[in-house]
Amino acid sequence: MTSLVYTVFHLASLQCSVRPEISPCTCETGKAWNHVELSCEKLESFNAVVDSLANKLNADTNIDLKITHSQLDDLEMRSFTDMNFNLYKLRMQWNSLKSLPEVPFRGLSNVTYLSIGDNDLDEIPKHALSHMPSLLTLDIGRCKIRAVQQEDFRGIQRVTNLILVSNIITRLDRGSFPKSLLILHLGRNQLESLNGSLHDLHNLESLFINANNITSLDDELPDGGQLRLLMAHNNRLERLPANMAGMHSLETVHIHCNQLRSFDRVLRNAVNLSEVMADNNELEYLAQDEFASCSKVETLQMGCNHIKSLNSSLLPILKLKNANFSFNDIEEFSMAELHGLRSLKTLQLSSNRIQRLLPDPRGVQELMLVNLDLDNNRIDSLNGALAGLGNLRILNLAGNRLEHLQVGDFDGMIRLDILDLTGNQLAELKPLEMTLLPSLKILKVAYNNITKLEQDFKGLPVLCQANLTNNQISTISSELVTNTRCKNHNVPGKLEIHLDDNPIMCDVGLNELCRLMAVQEARIRGRSQCFENDQEVCTVLPMLYNVNLPIMVTNLKLTGREVPKPMVRVIVPSLIKANNELLPPLIATLGNPVLISTDLVNPVISPLPPPLLLATTTPPPPLPLPVESEVEKNESTTANPVPTNYTQETTTTTSTTTTTTTTETSSQVAPIEIITTTAPTTTTTSTTTPKPNETLPVIVELQDPNPPDTTVNQTALVPPVVLDPLQQDLERERERERERELERDLDHEAVAKTEYETVEYIPNLVQPPVGSDALTPPPSKANALEEDSESVHSNSVHAEYPHAAQSLQIPEEPPEE
């Protein structure tokens, strides 16, 4: 048997193997063993087609001939019978035919399929069709036919499929269609009435009359129960015909985009109905028994109407899977409308006027609902109506008026993947702490009024994306993601928290929060306009705040005697925009000098642990930065002077007092601190006059509390180093010149006061933006840096950094201005 089948197919394939003699036509083996498909394209004449194919194939082979994109002006000069084969399918599309002559089609009694669509025919070629009595399928679509007359199809009374789509038909004569029709396609024409032409087509199963201008179907459709598919959408129907109530075989009804005001209960007996598309109508009311016997309906599309209530009309539809009632006028929705619909997977109630959701007293645990859309309504409270939807995967509540979530609103939603609360009026997400959503991966709460996040993700163990953009969030607790580890299909990932357009994006505390989140497999995303470059905030913050600062030394310990207190200067590069630009709080001062003083404990100078204490008589706005550099001991007997572009020092003999003076400059110049340290016979004065946006030093003054030749009484200190009188005069003159420059600067500029004068978070001190719009939270007394003389003289620096370098590095040259 196998060999016989192989032989048959082998013979069929030989019909088309290497046939250069039929060129330019091509040959292909058909699906059946004795069928061959011939294709002729772009030939210059019908005579060339006949000459190429005549007597080239076996006479008993069934031929499917396709002639396209050719010039057939000489069509009436030859006949298809001249090719001497059995033609059973003929396709003549895209040949610009304006008419079909009768002669070429004589003798085609075996043709069962004819397609002459996509031409310029303006009438049905009834004379040519009369020579094809076996025709079952006729396609004359996409032409220019204007009317169907009584005699047009008289010669093809066995035809079952008639396609007249996309013509310009305006008239149908009664009795013009063969009664054998099963499928009739009259869509995309210009019909205003069917004129009773279909009333006698009792075998009709599928009717396409879509995209016409039909206003009524009364007494137009055939009586009986054979019609299974009705495509009547995009017309002007105002009601459905009454005889539809007896069409028990209806399976698919597309009546959308009409002007229907009611179904008039004509579908209540359609026991086989499975799909109803009725959106974009004027429906206002659904009767309670509208679908009384329609238990097999799976898809019900009724969006864009004026329905105010479902009126329990869905309850008989036990197999309903997808229901769409979006863009209606429903004001109240009860979950009891879905009771018993165990097959329902998707319910769309978007863009209605729903103000209240009512729970079903019998519960919703039996529902298999997977996707529920309630967005763009007027819901102000969930009332626990959705609790218990254990199979729900997507819940869309965006664009409502929710102000509060209640504990229990989302109880039982163990499979919920996506929760969308965008565009509501929520002030907090605290109820989520006590709600377990073990499968939630995406949380959307953008465009709300949330101000803080504490432990709101506590019940979201596998959350992977949280969209919190455009809120008022200024505080995020480090415990937010303690119980959350992103997992998608059990694959670990990182939780993405999007915070664009929130106040916290300009908060210096976000720097540390980014680190804490990273440790817990979470990542804060979002761009901040507070920085010069519009970058991801957790990318740019470390660059702004973690700066390795070089150190300059002005005086070192001399051999055998005491020197004035060594001055250690830390150069801070200018990283931030000018202060007159938009800046986050407490950042603007990073480019300006900060003066810090403390005492040396031993010759080894280590990096200072934050926070540092300022040795000042009046607390200025303290802005210390952590110093991370090595200390190098200078072996020479004199200190290396600092270039005069930055500081000037003068040593004189005066009384035994110590004074520190702080002077304020403009908002673009950091505070200037003049530190005067006076031993019994020594006075060291250091002044610095910075310029706006200039890279300036941070000065750290360190003093050894145990000099070699000192006593308990401070008046018995070692005699100071006395400079040459000429050098002293020169130093005094330079000092006076710098004081005059300082006075001129102070006349033109003033330091902008701010309540952010705190150093609770030392590495990230910033200054608020200048302007009336600047948001400035109230100052915190707990953050103020207090005087502590014991801390100044403590050994904490050396104890915390036991491996510090043994020398101070002196830059070869100062940074450029």
Single-letter amino acid code for the residue at 555: N
Buried b (16+ CB within 10 A) or exposed e, 214-249: bebbeebbbeeeebbbbbbbbbebebbbebbeebeb
Q: Is 723 helix (H, G, I), strand (E, B) or coil?
A: coil
Cβ–Cβ < 8 Å for 250, 273: yes
Strands 567-572 and 696-701: antiparallel
Q: How confident is the model at residue 671 (pLDDT cuts 50, 70, 90)?
A: very low
Question: What pLDDT score does 312 carry?
Answer: 94
Task: Please tell me the distance from the alpha carbon of residue 400 to that of residue 470, in angstroms, as a whole number.
Answer: 16
Residues 805-816, mean pLDDT to the nearest whole number = 42
Q: Is 358 helix (H, G, I), strand (E, B) or coil?
A: strand
The number of CA neighbours under 13 Å toward the Cβ of 625 is 30
Task: Please tell me the distance from the alpha carbon of residue 217 to that of residue 232, in angstroms, as a whole number.
Answer: 10
- Under DSSP, the state recorded for 783 is G
Q: Which residues contact 177 (CB under 8 A, 6 or more apart)?
A: 148, 153, 162, 184, 197, 198, 201
With CA atoms as reference, report the closest residue to 409 among 441, 378, 433, 439. Answer: 433
Which phi and psi angles does 604 have, rounded to 5°?
A: -85, 120
The region of weakest confidence among 344-358, 404-418, 505-519 is: 505-519
Handedness of CA 331, 335, 338, 344 (dihedral sign): positive
pLDDT (tens digit, 9 = 90+) per residue, 712-766? 444 434 444 455 666 677 778 788 877 777 766 555 444 433 333 333 333 333 3
Neighbours of 274 (CB within 10 A): 16
pLDDT (tens digit, 9 = 90+) per residue, 36-77? 999 999 999 999 999 989 888 888 889 999 999 999 999 999
Task: Please tell me the distance from the alpha carbon of residue 237 to that of residue 73, in angstroms, as a whole number.
Answer: 44
pLDDT (tens digit, 9 = 90+) per residue, 700-723? 444 444 444 444 444 434 444 455
Q: Is 658 helix (H, G, I), strand (E, B) or coil?
A: coil
For the CA atoms of 303, 304, 307, 311, the dihedral, rounded to the nearest 10 degrees, stands at: 0
Give the chain's radius of gyration (CA, Å). 45
**Mean pLDDT for all residues in the chain:** 75
pLDDT (tens digit, 9 = 90+) per residue, 150-173? 999 999 999 999 999 999 999 999
The structural domains of the chain, ordered by start, are 330-414+421-425 (3.80.10.10), 433-546 (3.80.10), 550-711+742-777+799-817 (no CATH)
Residue with tokens 């193997």: 17
Which phi and psi angles does 259 have, rounded to 5°?
A: -125, 35
The region of weakest confidence among 57-66, 115-124, 386-395, 404-413 is: 57-66
Q: How confident is the model at residue 490 (pLDDT cuts 50, 70, 90)?
A: confident
Give helix 537-545 / helix 510-519 axis angle, nearest 10°. 120
Which phi and psi angles does 418 have, rounded to 5°?
A: -130, 125
The DSSP-derived string for 425-443 is: --S--GGGGG---TT--EE
Task: Please tell me the distance from the alpha carbon of residue 381 to that of residue 332, in angstroms, as a whole number.
Answer: 12
Residues 780-794, mean pLDDT to the nearest whole number = 38
- Under DSSP, the state recorded for 659 is E
Statement: residue 612 has pLDDT above 50 = no
Q: Where are the alpha helices (DSSP H) in 353-431?
A: none
With CA atoms as reference, report the closest residue to 167 among 197, 212, 135, 127. Answer: 212
Return the beta strands (E) in 471-561 as ranges: 475-476, 487-488, 491-492, 495-498, 522-525, 551-553
Cα distance from N-terminal residue to C-terminal residue, the chain: 98
Strands 807-808 and 631-632: antiparallel
Task: Please tell me the distance from the alpha carbon of residue 365 to that of residue 367, in angstroms, as a whole number.
Answer: 6
Task: Please tell me the distance from the alpha carbon of residue 360 to that of residue 186, in angstroms, as a whole number.
Answer: 47
More confident residue, 657 or 56: 56
Two tokens, residue 157: 């009374």
Single-letter amino acid code for the residue at 27: C
More confident residue, 602 or 439: 439
Task: Please tell me the distance from the alpha carbon of residue 509 to that of residue 641, in angstroms, as a whole number.
Answer: 38
